Amino acid sequence: MQVLKVFALVLAGFWVAPSWADDCANAMDQFTLNQCAAADYATQDKRLNQLYGDYRKRLDDGQKQQLKDVQLAWIKFRDLACAFESASVEGGSAYPMVLNGCLTQKTAARVKELEQLAVCEEGDLSCPMPAQ
């Protein structure tokens, strides 16, 4: 059920993000703060999905499956960690903002990880593949 709530919030934030963009800098009420947090998360999630897809195209079949497994495990970790971190406000009006803030932060960190993997230098033995 929690996943459905988060999904609905993300979709709502995505659809209203352009109209709320100017309001986010001056948000004064919880509804607007929640919408802005959902829009921020939707932006980061879109970046992550684009980067993941682009990077995946460069991998061989075995690496693609490994990356998929890692990404699915990471998503589960992110969702569980953010549910835990926002549990103290669950049911409150600030819950969507706190949850989406956590999801945004963890997703942005994952974006940076994938960006680093996409540009590692030839000879870097800790890198799945060299930069193109």
Amino acid identity of 91?
A: G
What is the predicted pLDDT for the residue at 20?
47
Q: Alpha-carbon distance 112 to 103, whole Å? A: 14
3 has pLDDT over 50: no
Residue ranges with strand state E in 1-132? none
Query: Domain 2-21+30-110 classified CATH 3.40.50.10490?
Result: no
Prediction pTM value: 0.79
Band of residue 125 on the pLDDT scale cut at 50, 70, 90: confident
Q: Alpha-carbon distance 6 to 13, whole Å? A: 10
Domain boundaries, the chain: 2-21+30-110
